[in-house]
Chain A
């Protein structure tokens, strides 16, 4: 049984549909990411779960109770906002204690839980600091402690790491994941950062223009993207135009000078989608000329001009000699590494 369930949820602002037909079942303790470009409706969906917005259609259920009937203040969800939304006139401890105060937790228990929550996010000793005197990372930790101290049934994170610098963000990602694993709170993260979504979540909901493009584990969405949008949005990808030739025996999938046995059940023009790190340089395959070669430490990035249009290739820096700029190469990949879209059923 789903712990948190969104059933064909939609949100309209006037004539504009911001979220449409959003259905998702979240299991208890699961870490879900809503991933998509800005304006795809991911924050709107989060706000509907939080209760700041009412869905135009559909229902949201938490443990089989319809959330529409429950006032946002009574839903008992923990929310971390992009801007943190800390109370600037209160100290870190007062900020964290606020939710407990609202729940009439006794003073002694409150002090103990606030101390524990701040210690959990690594802010022991910062109890009496005011938010304005803390760094962005510290404020973010206070916001997390404030949301977690009330033992929320679901933790909602609205782009919580987007205001931090790259290094701190990576640290916080690891920490966030550890905390979530330890206390096992069901978590929904809204983000536009695919790395963040992939490194944190159990499942990713890829969204575009208010609709779900794909729901799957990070690996599934990356390896088996359900649409061109997903493959483009999650990492770099090469899309080559190919055709499936059923006149040959056995039938073959052809893209330029590269060909492979045709997948069953398709024919006609198709799009072959292949990740740059799955392409190798070989003796046969798509003919291409290397335009630029960029060294990036642990890997090389090649931009090639192939017979099927521009292509990107990533090769591990494993010490072997790599082709140079201007060199003509052949691009090849294993059929199981690509995904084929389009075509008609044959």
Chain B
């Protein structure tokens, strides 16, 4: 019961978490803080970065409609991608969950498999299939006479949404699948015995219970899509920029680091606000299901 021992006990958790905490502070918090600071610095074509405190970059982002367009496009693409993954991923997870043992593990592997392949490779696959008149599918359809000109895919928002949805699908499926695991295995039988048909069972019994899974999957997919770089860079390139590729270009092509930092910071803040806000909403709405 000595005070010294108590103090030692109180210090122990800090000591134990110190290595991880230092890593977290060293590689995440400090660079993040530096990026935020960088966004307030000045930059000129000939003078480079000047460590002063000005709002020039923020003012430019706020007033130039070019940036507004970039951000709207980013979130539009992220929202459409999220909707697409939810519409396809939730039924996919439900079907997966109803499969019998062996098929279930095979198809779970099929769904998770893409995660093992680089995003770049997966996106380039789409480019190979639909990339202009040399794309495999376009070539095939054109030679078959189904279409005259190649299906517009590269440098379009549709293409970006399709490719991103493909990349993000496993996150949605896994999230919904986790929610399905929590379902009572007899719940569908219970509803059926009370006279509910298959559509009613899905709409009234299954959907409300997996909604938290769909929504948490949506948060993951949305934030990953809004901050995605590789897919937009390959499909959209320079012609169709989103926030992440814009920041990249400011950093590495224009060399305007402060402006790039401001874009990156704005993207981060917007994402954090959206994710935290929707998470709070979901938790309040589904308190009973989550408990």
Is A108 positioned at the interface, with any CB of B under 8 Å from its CB? no
| Contact call B195/A83, Cβ cutoff below 8 A | no
Q: Which residue of A lies closest to B207 (CB)?
A: A89
Partner of A98 from B185, B191, B197, B291 at Cβ < 8 Å: B191
How many residues of B are counted as interface, with CB atoms below 8 angstroms from the partner's CB atoms? 22
Residue A57 lies at the interface, judged by CB distance under 8 Å to chain B: no
The contact sample of 20 A-B pairs, CB cut-off 8 A, is A50-B189, A50-B193, A72-B192, A72-B193, A73-B193, A73-B194, A74-B195, A79-B189, A79-B190, A79-B193, A81-B190, A83-B185, A85-B187, A87-B187, A88-B288, A88-B289, A89-B208, A89-B289, A102-B200, A150-B194
Chain A 65-86 per-residue mask, 1 if CB under 8 angstroms from chain B, else 0: 0000000111111110111111
Query: In the complex, what residue of chain A is closest to B195 when comparing beta carbons?
Result: A102
Report Cα–Cα, A130/B195, bound state, in Å.
22
For the complex, what is the distance from the CA of A76 to the CA of B195, rounded to whole Å?
Answer: 7
Instruction: Tell me the complex Cα distance, A130–B187, Å.
Output: 16
| CB <8 Å contact, B208 and A102 | no
**Measured between alpha carbons, how far is A133 from B205 in the docked complex, in Å?**
19
Query: Which residues of A are found within 8 Å of B189, using beta-carbon distances?
Result: 50, 52, 72, 79, 81, 85
| Contact B187 A77, beta carbon cutoff 8 Å | no
How many residues in A have their beta carbons less than 8 Å from beta carbons of B?
Answer: 29
User: Would A85 and B190 be within 8 Å (CB), given that A130-B288, A132-B288 are in contact?
Assistant: yes
Q: Which residues of A contact B (CB under 8 A)?
A: 50, 52, 72-79, 81-89, 98-99, 102-103, 130, 132-133, 146-147, 150
B residues near A89, Cβ cutoff 8 Å: 208-209, 286, 288-289
Q: Does B2 contact A (CB under 8 A)?
A: no
Smallest CB–CB gap between B202 and chain A, Å? 13
Interface secondary structure of A, over-half rule: loop
Q: With an 8 A cutoff between CB atoms, is B100 at the interface? A: no
**Contacting residues, chain A, for B196 (C-beta < 8 A):** 73, 98, 102
Contact B289 A73 (CB under 8 A): no
The smallest beta-carbon distance between A142 and chain B, in angstroms, is 12
Q: A102-B200, A130-B288, A132-B288 are in contact. Are A87 and B205 (CB under 8 A)?
A: yes
Residues from chain B with a CB closer than 8 A to the CB of A133 are 288, 291
CA distance A87 to B288 in the complex (A): 11
Distance (whole angstroms) from the CB of B195 to the closest CB of chain A: 4
Across the interface, name the chain B residue whose C-beta is closest to A87: B205
- Contact A99–B195 (Cβ < 8 Å): yes
**Considering only CB atoms, which chain A residue lies closest to B184 in the complex?**
A85
Which B residue sits closest to A79, measured CB to CB? Answer: B193
Contact A78 B193 (CB under 8 A): yes
Q: Are B197 and A73 in contact (CB under 8 A)?
A: yes
- State how many angstroms separate the Cβ of B211 from the closest Cβ of chain A: 8
B287 (CB) vs chain A CBs: closest residue? A130
B161-192 Cβ-contact flags toward A at 8 Å (1 or 0)? 00000000000000000000000111101111
Cα(A78)–Cα(B193), bound, Å? 7
Which 3 pairs from chain A and chain B are nearest by CB? A102-B195, A99-B194, A85-B190
CA distance A130 to B200 in the complex (A): 21
Taking the closest CB of chain B, its distance from the CB of A190, in whole angstroms, is 13
Please indicate the chain B residues that have their CB under 8 angstroms from the CB of A52 in the complex: 189, 192
Given contacts A87-B191, A88-B289, 17 further A-B contacts (CB under 8 A): A72-B192, A73-B195, A73-B196, A73-B197, A78-B193, A79-B190, A81-B189, A85-B184, A85-B187, A85-B190, A87-B190, A89-B209, A89-B286, A98-B191, A98-B196, A103-B195, A146-B194
Q: Which residues of B contact A146 (CB under 8 A)?
A: 194
Query: Does A102 contact B194, Cβ atoms closer than 8 Å?
Result: yes
